[in-house]
Amino acid sequence: MPSVLRVFTFSLAFSLLGTLAGVYVPAGLFLPLSILELVMLVSAFLLRRRKAVSYAFLYIFTFISGITLYPIVAHYLATTGANTVILAFATTTTVFTGLAIYATKSKRNFSFLGGFLMAALLALVAISIFNIFWPLNSTAMLVYSFIGVMVFSGYILFDFSRMKHYGVSPEDVPLMALSLYLDFINLFLSILRIFGILPKND
C-alpha cells in the first residue's frame, strides 16, 4: 500500500503540472486530448489483466488529464473565484484521507460494493452524455453532483479495502494508483460543481 500511495501522489503532481501547462495549450487541442485521455483510460482497464499499465503510461495519462482539467478549473476561477477551487480541493483531500483511513482501519471488507458502484458509475456516465444534448438545470446538476460524491466516496472505500484485504502485487501498483487518482479527481470535480452551484442558489 505505501508504494501505491507514493505513486498516487506522483500522479497528482503530474496532473498539477498538466493543469499548469494547460494555460499554454491552444483551445483547439483540448477536444483531441480529451478523446486521447478517454482512449487511454478504456485501454488501461480493458487490458489490465495483461499488465498493460506501466509507470510511464500512468504519468503520461495523468499529465494529459491535468491538461484537460484546465478549462474546467479556469471556468470556476473566472466565475466563482479561486476560493471555490481551493475549498473544493481541500474538501476533497479531507474526505479522501478520512475514507482511506477508515477503510484501512475498519475490519469490514467493502469489496461487496463493487457491483453497485459499477452500476451507479454507468448511470452517471449516461446522465453526463444526456447533459451534453439536453443540459440539466442547476438543481438537477446539484443532485447529480451529490450522487457523484457518494459514488466516488464509495470507490475510495472499495479500493482501499481491496488493497487491505487482497494486497497489491508490484505489477499492479500503477493500475491501483490510477484507480485512486480517478477516485480523487472525480470526487474533486463533483465537489467543485456543488460549490460552484450553491452560491448561485443562495
Task: Confirm if 156 and 106 have CB atoms less than 8 A apart.
Answer: no
Tell me how long the chain is. Answer: 202
- At residue 42, the pLDDT reads 76
Half-sphere exposure (CA, 13 Å, Cβ side) for 44? 25
135 φ/ψ angles, rounded to the nearest 5 degrees: -55, 135
CA angle 124, 129, 134 (to 5 degrees): 115
Print pLDDT tens along the chain (202 aa). Answer: 788 999 999 999 999 999 999 889 888 888 888 888 888 877 776 665 555 578 888 899 899 999 999 999 999 999 888 899 999 999 999 999 999 999 988 888 888 887 888 888 888 888 888 887 888 888 888 999 999 999 999 999 998 988 887 777 888 888 889 889 999 999 999 999 999 888 654 4
Round to the nearest angstrom and report the end-to-end CA distance of the chain: 42
Task: Confirm if 36 and 155 have CB atoms less than 8 A apart.
Answer: no
Distance, in Å, from the CA atom of 110 to the CA atom of 107, rounded to the nearest integer, reads: 9
Distance, in Å, from the CA atom of 101 to the CA atom of 27, rounded to the nearest integer, reads: 40
Element containing residue 79 per DSSP (H, E)? helix 55-79
Q: CA dihedral defined by 74, 6, 182, 44, rounded to 10 degrees?
A: 120
- At residue 35, the pLDDT reads 85
- At residue 47, the pLDDT reads 63
Task: Confirm if 172 and 121 have CB atoms less than 8 A apart.
Answer: no
For the chain, how many structural domains are there in total? 1
Distance, in Å, from the CA atom of 111 to the CA atom of 176, rounded to the nearest integer, reads: 14
For 138, the domain range is 2-201
Task: Confirm if 103 and 110 have CB atoms less than 8 A apart.
Answer: yes
pTM of the model: 0.89
